[in-house]
Every structure is written in C-alpha cells, then in structure tokens.
C-alpha cells in the first residue's frame, strides 16, 4: 500500500477524479504555479531561514529577513507564474509578503518563546501499529516549551482567517502529532499552532488521546475507501471553484470541452458542434419561457373575464350568457368543507375519533368525504346521527361555477360539454 499524506487525502476528498489522474493513472502534465502558491513558498522560506540562524546563535534583524525574502523572490520569479487576479501585479504580492514577515517579526522577536527542535521535519505516521497504513508529512517548525510541551507550527498566507472550531477539527497537524509522539513517546503534551501571517493571528489547538484515536480510525476508513476503487469510473468528478486550478482540465470530462473551446476565435467557437447544440437549446428554452409567460398572462385575463361574467349574470338576473359560438352557464352551489389530515391534523383526528365512537362506523370509515357530504346534504340515510357529530367540524362555502359549452349548431345539435378542453374549462369563482 502506498504511503499517504494529508495533501493526498485532501486531493481525493476535493475531487476523486483528480486523485485518479494524479496518483493512479499518473498522467504527466505541466503543473502551473500561481502567484498565491509562489507567495506562500517564499514567505514560508523566510521563517525557516530566521529560525535556522537562531539555532546557530545568530539573530537576524528584520531588514536582513526582508532582504533574504527579496533576494529569494527575485531569483525564483519567472514569467510562467500565473496571476489569477489580474488587477494585482507580482510587486503587490511581494509587498504582502513583506508585511507578513514584518508583522511576524514584531510579534515574536527575539524568538525565544520555545526551543526549535527541527525545521521542515519529516514525520512518518503509523495509523494501525502494523505498518499497513502509513502517512508522511513535513512539519514547518517543531519546537519544545520549557515544561516539555511539544509545539507543531504551520505557517499560512491564506486570505481568509478560519474559525477556531475549524482548526480544532483540522487533520493535518493532528496527524503530525501522532507521528511525533510515536517517535518520542515521552512527548505526552503537544500543542498545534497555526500562524496566519496576513492577519497577524495565531490559532492554537490541542488533541486528547481519544481525539487522536478517532482520527486514526477515520483516516484508515478513508484510505480503505480509496484503496477499494479500481477503475476511472469509481473516482467520480466533483466540480468546485478549485477546478480552475486543476492541472487535468484537458482530460477531465467536466472541463475538457471548455478547455478545448475557450481558445477558439469567435467564428470557430460559435460553429463548434457542441457549442451550437447548447446555444440552440438555450434559444429554445428562452422561447418556451416567453410563451409560458404569455400563457400565464392570458390565464389571468381569462380569470378576470370569468369574474366579469359572474357579475354580469348577477346584474342581469340570468344564469346563461350566450356568445357567438359558445355560452356560459353560471350556477351557484354550497360546498361542504371538512377538516383535512394534512392541513388541520388536530381537527381531523378529533372528527375521526367521534366517528369511530358512533354507530355509523365503518360506513364512513377513513373519513370518506363523499359519504359524509351525502349525509350532511340529506342524500344518504343518517341512522347513526352522523350529521350531529360532524356539525362542529363542517364549514359551508358558497361557490359559483362557470361552465362553457358549445351553442346548438344550425342542425339543432348540441356540441360536447367537455370540461377537459381548455376552451370549455369549468371554473369555480
């Protein structure tokens, strides 16, 4: 089994397909370096230089630290480094790096809070004690306090400052703690320390033995999940904002077409078959939505006409209003409304209880609304005195119906009264 790392596990969690391309298929791609990653590396190297000299009894001044940072920046900067936020230049990022270092120096000089044990220290973690599940990592700075507590330091140039709760669940430094304590069993106390240099803030966290045991178990489960997958299809694509920085966009099915077409000139882009199909679908969807909007507007107008018809029938004292080829019949009826299980559950349950206790059960079992309405209107026998029981629960509503139908044709034949026809739709008012 391969030796894993926190970054390798994170790669899988972010996108299993990217993990497949990088660690299983081992596709060779030219990795693009961003200015943010470049800044992080250069700023990270400066504290390493600072503490390495401290271990040799030499304390650098802040100006010497900045000069080392500038020299390192100039020597390593190249045109291939990608600046994603084009409104900023490399000099802007260099100034951010200098501010990070000056802020850190002012906060911790003369850097004697703890004794540095190692810098860029490689640590190996044995998760199950058998050597089957192994991880490795590199600790930015390993130090020890005067009381023997081990400090595991990590330097960050993140734009966003995370919450304490997030770092209390952080996996990387907690895994490093396991490795350190396996190497030095007497290091019973450990503190995890993150320096967020852009913000001048330090976040600290500790883990209990139970926390570390849970972390081991969870990490073993994650590794087992990865190891159980074999084919490319087992490693699904997970799209996110990180896709813009993925080196496998030319291969990934979620980005391959974008990567293929984004460099095409306009005339060739619009003529590309896939682009043309998506654009055609988009245009048709727009037309459909426009028609749906018109239908909604027409439905509203039709409802207004129905309201006007009811008002006309009332005013004129008629129940039928004729048109050129159809006529509208306006009728009034009383609707019997009973409690509904979904809308009025308490009233429904009480009515159900009353009916179950009466003699009519199960003739009106399951609260058959049609049976109850027939009894209420006197159309069915009520030997069980159901009407009295349901009276507290019944609401009567007056409703007018407008039904449209064909007028008789020249041969005296009546047209069909089809309420399913949109033009003959029965409407309640």
Question: pLDDT per residue over 415-426, tens digit each?
Answer: 555 443 333 344
Report the pLDDT value the prediction gives residue 383, as an integer from 0 to 100: 75
pLDDT value at residue 92 = 94
pLDDT score, position 388: 85
Its pTM surpasses 0.75: no
pLDDT of residue 109: 93
Domains of the chain plus CATH, in order, are 6-234 (3.90.320), 315-428 (no CATH)
- Residue 426: predicted pLDDT: 47
User: Which stretches in the chain have pLDDT values below 70?
Assistant: 359-367, 409-429
pLDDT computed for residue 365 by the predictor = 58
Alpha-carbon span 136 to 179, nearest angstrom? 8
């Amino acid at each position: 089994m391969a030796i894993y790392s926190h970054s390798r596990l994170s790669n899988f969690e972010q996108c299993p397909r990217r993990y497949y391309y990088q660690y299983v298929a081992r596709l060779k791609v030219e990795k693009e370096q961003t200015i943010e990653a470049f800044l992080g590396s250069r700023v990270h190297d400066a504290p390493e230089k600072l503490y390495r000299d401290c271990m040799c009894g030499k304390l650098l001044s802040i100006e010497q630290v900045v000069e080392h940072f500038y020299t390192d920046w100039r020597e390593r900067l190249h045109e291939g480094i990608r600046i994603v936020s084009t409104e900023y230049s490399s000099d802007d990022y260099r100034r951010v790096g200098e501010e990070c270092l000056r802020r850190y120096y002012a906060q911790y000089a003369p850097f004697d809070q703890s004794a540095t044990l190692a810098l860029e220290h490689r640590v190996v973690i044995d998760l199950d004690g058998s050597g089957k599940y192994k991880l490795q990592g590199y600790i930015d700075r390993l130090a020890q306090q005067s009381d023997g507590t081990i400090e595991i330091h990590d330097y960050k140039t993140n734009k966003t400052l995370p919450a304490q709760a997030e770092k209390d669940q952080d996996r990387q430094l907690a895994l490093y703690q396991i490795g350190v304590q396996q190497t030095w069993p007497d290091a019973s106390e450990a503190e995890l320390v993150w320096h967020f240099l852009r913000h001048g803030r330090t976040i600290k966290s500790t883990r209990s033995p139970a926390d570390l045991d849970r972390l081991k178990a969870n990490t073993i489960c994650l590794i087992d999940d990865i190891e159980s997958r074999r084919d490319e299809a087992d490693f699904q694509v997970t799209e996110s904002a990180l896709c813009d920085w993925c080196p496998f966009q030319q291969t990934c099915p979620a980005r391959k077409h974008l990567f293929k077409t984004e460099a095409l000139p306009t005339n060739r882009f619009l003529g590309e078959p896939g682009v043309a199909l998506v654009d055609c679908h988009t245009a048709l969807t727009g037309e459909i939505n426009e028609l749906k909007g018109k239908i909604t507007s027409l439905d509203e107008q039709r409802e207004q006409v129905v309201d006007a018809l009811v008002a006309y029938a009332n005013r004129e004292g008629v129940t039928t209003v004729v048109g050129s080829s159809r006529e509208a019949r306006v009728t009034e009826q009383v609707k019997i409304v009973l409690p509904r299980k979904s809308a009025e559950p308490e009233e429904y349950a009480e009515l159900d209880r009353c009916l179950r206790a009466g003699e009519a059960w199960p003739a009106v079992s399951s609260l058959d609304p049609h049976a109850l309405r027939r009894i209420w209107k006197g159309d069915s026998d009520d030997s069980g005195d159901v009407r009295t029981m349901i009276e507290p629960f019944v609401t009567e509503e007056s409703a007018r119906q407008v039904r449209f139908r064909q007028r008789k044709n020249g041969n005296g034949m009546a047209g069909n009264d089809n309420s399913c026809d949109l033009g003959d739709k029965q409407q309640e008012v």
